[in-house]
Amino acid sequence: MTISDEMLMAYADGELDAASRARVEAAMQEDPEIGKRVARHRALRETMQGAFSGVLNEPVPERLIQAARGQTAAPKSAVVDLSAAREAARRKNSAALRWQPAAIAASLLLGLGLGFLAWHGSGGLIQPGAGGGLVASAALAEALSTQLSDDRSQVSVAVAGLSFRDKSGDYCRTFSLTGSAASLGLACREGTDWKIKALAQAPRGAANPGNFRTAGSEDSPVIRAAVEASIEGEPLDHAGEIAARQAGWAAAAKR
Amino acid sequence: MSTNDSAENIHEQIVTLLPRLRRFARNLVRNPHDADDVVQIAVERALLRLDQWRSDARLDSWLFKIVRNAWIDEVRARARRAKILMPEEAGEQVGEATMEREIDRWSAESALTRLPEDQRVAVSLVLVEGLSYKDAAEVLDVPVGTLTSRLARGREALQEMLRLPEGEAS
């Protein structure tokens, strides 16, 4: 019976399936030399594991912790962005949002939207728009522009959900964000931007891309209310979404 | 990753992994400060690419991969003006006069630095960080067979350098 050294190594590393494991163990019983070789592999594994553990007990430099928390990207300009966003959102909200649930959404938008800016830093999924308010960017903008609501093959931090047209003919889509701060939101197409209309914290476990339609907007009264207040007609079906996507989500003619 | 996990704050998960990312980086980069630089670059990069993280993949493997790629980029950018790279040629001297000259037994740390890069990274991921062959192969973007043979060669060289007593550990 021949047992390669690689096989013994894999055995020592716990990488063999049951059949191969049995083979090695049988061989070890027959030949003590094989047992010694396995022991050497195990001893090396233990040595290497222990040798580098010193760094694990060192205090982690603050700069790395800040980097991991997304707090390194130009904190000063972030402050400016935040106040600009707050102002813009306030103007936008007082002027345009008239329904009561949306007012709740707006206050959430202020708090959470700003939180997002802080969390995501320069790679933010939500950023102040040129014309005021907050707009989707990066992966969120990508998701809103390209994902179909029934296509869950793309796993992304941002997932686009229900699509519909609002009362002024603009296309709107709900979305969910996973990761740093799981959220549900509503964005509407304005020009080439996806303007964030509402944003709410996702209930625990609700931001699962796989069942957004049931667990997404349904799970957030704020987003559901925002959708109900702005939707005109029925949500887009699959073909409707494809057509809208092909048209670049350009606003349909006002009714 | 379960839905609940992915809904948790990924920033804090990364913070928790920082000690291991630093350990891995130090096995790539000799100078601890440079190693931390690589970790910082990698972490910032990871946050910008969260959408590329497959939520069914292990976060640590994914981050190791970004650390390694950040290191490769840094090496390319800095090799000429700084010596953050481990002496590559050293790995080829294993078994030659240099190692037998004065040192009876290498420490595990210095032995690892003597390995060629591909073996060093394979050993670091599997033996030090405890990744499976499959996960380590994914970090390195190589087939499992390639990972296995690098690991086997690296181990063989380490066994020689460390002169682990045969059979006594059993």
Domains and CATH numbers, chain B: 1-85 (1.10.1740.10), 90-170 (1.10.10.10)
Query: With 50 as the cut, is the pLDDT of residue B119 above it?
Result: yes
% of chain B beyond a pLDDT of 70: 74
Q: Report the distance separating Cα A175 and Cα A223, nearest Å.
A: 10
What number is the average pLDDT over the span B83-98?
42
Would you state the pLDDT for residue B10?
Answer: 84
Would you state the pLDDT for residue A72?
Answer: 60
Q: Which among B162, B161, B164 has a CA at the least distance from the CA of B94?
A: B161
Would you state the pLDDT for residue A23?
Answer: 94
- Give the minimum alpha-carbon distance from B169 to chain A in angstroms, rounded to a whole number: 6
Task: Report CA B133 to chain centroid distance, whole Å.
Answer: 13
Q: Report the distance separating Cα A158 and Cα B96, nearest Å.
A: 55
Q: Quick check: ipTM above 0.85?
A: no
Residues 6 or more apart whose CB falls under 8 angstroms from that of A80 comprise none
Q: Report the distance separating Cα B110 and Cα B57, nearest Å.
A: 32
User: How does pLDDT run across A195-224, given as a tens digit for each residue?
Assistant: 888 877 766 544 444 433 333 454 577 777
Closest alpha carbon within chain A to B9:
A180
Sheet of strand A134-136, all strands in order from the earlier edge strand to the far edge = A126-128, A134-136, A193-201, A183-190, A171-177, A158-166, A231-232
* pLDDT classification of A63: cutoffs 50, 70, 90: very high
User: How does pLDDT run across B19-57, given as a tens digit for each residue?
Assistant: 999 999 999 988 888 899 999 999 999 988 887 887 777
User: How does pLDDT run across A77-100, given as a tens digit for each residue?
Assistant: 333 333 444 444 444 444 443 344
Q: Of the candidates B23, B32, B152, which has its C-beta nearest A56's C-beta?
A: B23
User: How does pLDDT run across A103-150, given as a tens digit for each residue?
Assistant: 445 545 554 555 555 444 434 788 777 777 788 888 888 889 888 877
Mean pLDDT of chain A: 73
What number is the average pLDDT over the span B72-94?
53
Q: What phi-psi label fits residue A179: left (phi over 0), alpha (psi between -120 and 50 degrees) or beta?
A: left
- Give the minimum alpha-carbon distance from B151 to chain A in angstroms, rounded to a whole number: 9
Residues in chain B with CB shorter than 8 Å from the CB of A38 are 170
The one-letter amino acid code at A2 reads T
Q: Report the distance separating Cα A211 and Cα A205, nearest Å.
A: 10
Residue spans of the domains in chain A: they are 5-55, 75-246
Which residues 63-102 on chain B approach chain A with CB closer than 8 angstroms?
A: none
CB contact under 8 A, B27 and A52: yes
What number is the average pLDDT over the span B136-148?
95
Would you state the pLDDT for residue B165?
Answer: 54
Chosen from B43, B107, B126 to mutate, greatest number of chain A CBs within 10 A: B43
* pLDDT classification of B146: cutoffs 50, 70, 90: very high
What number is the average pLDDT over the span B86-114?
54
Q: Of the candidates B10, B152, B169, which has its C-beta nearest A9's C-beta?
A: B152
Q: Report the distance separating Cα A68 and Cα A62, nearest Å.
A: 10
Query: With 50 as the cut, is the pLDDT of residue B3 above it?
Result: no
Would you state the pLDDT for residue A181?
Answer: 60
Q: Report the distance separating Cα A63 and Cα A104, nearest Å.
A: 37
CB contact under 8 A, B14 and A68: yes
Residues 6 or more apart whose CB falls under 8 angstroms from that of A100 comprise none
Would you state the pLDDT for residue B19?
Answer: 96
* pLDDT classification of B128: cutoffs 50, 70, 90: very high
* pLDDT classification of A30: cutoffs 50, 70, 90: very high
Beta-bridge partners for A171: A165
Q: Does A67 touch chain B (CB under 8 A)?
A: yes
Which residues 12-41 on chain A approach chain B with CB closer than 8 angstroms?
A: 13, 15, 35-36, 38-41
Residues in chain A with CB shorter than 8 Å from the CB of B55 are 155, 178
Would you state the pLDDT for residue A188?
Answer: 92
pTM (whole model) above 0.80: no
Start-end of H helices in B29-163: 32-48, 59-78, 97-100, 108-113, 117-123, 133-140, 144-162
The one-letter amino acid code at B40 reads Q
Q: Report the distance separating Cα A72 and Cα A183, nearest Å.
A: 23
Higher pLDDT, A2 or B93: A2
Q: Report the distance separating Cα A232 and Cα A255, nearest Å.
A: 10
Query: With 90 as the cut, is the pLDDT of residue B65 above it?
Result: yes
What is the DSSP secondary structure assignment for residue A176, as one 8-state letter? E
φ/ψ of A129, rounded to 5, equals -85, 160
User: Looking at A175-184, A228-237, B20-29, which range is the least confident one?
Assistant: A175-184
Query: With 60 as the cut, is the pLDDT of residue A164 above it?
Result: yes
Q: Report the distance separating Cα A222 and Cα A185, nearest Å.
A: 9
% of chain A beyond a pLDDT of 90: 22
Q: Report the distance separating Cα A128 and Cα A134, nearest Å.
A: 4
CA distances from A147 to A79, A161, A241, B15 (A): 32, 8, 9, 31
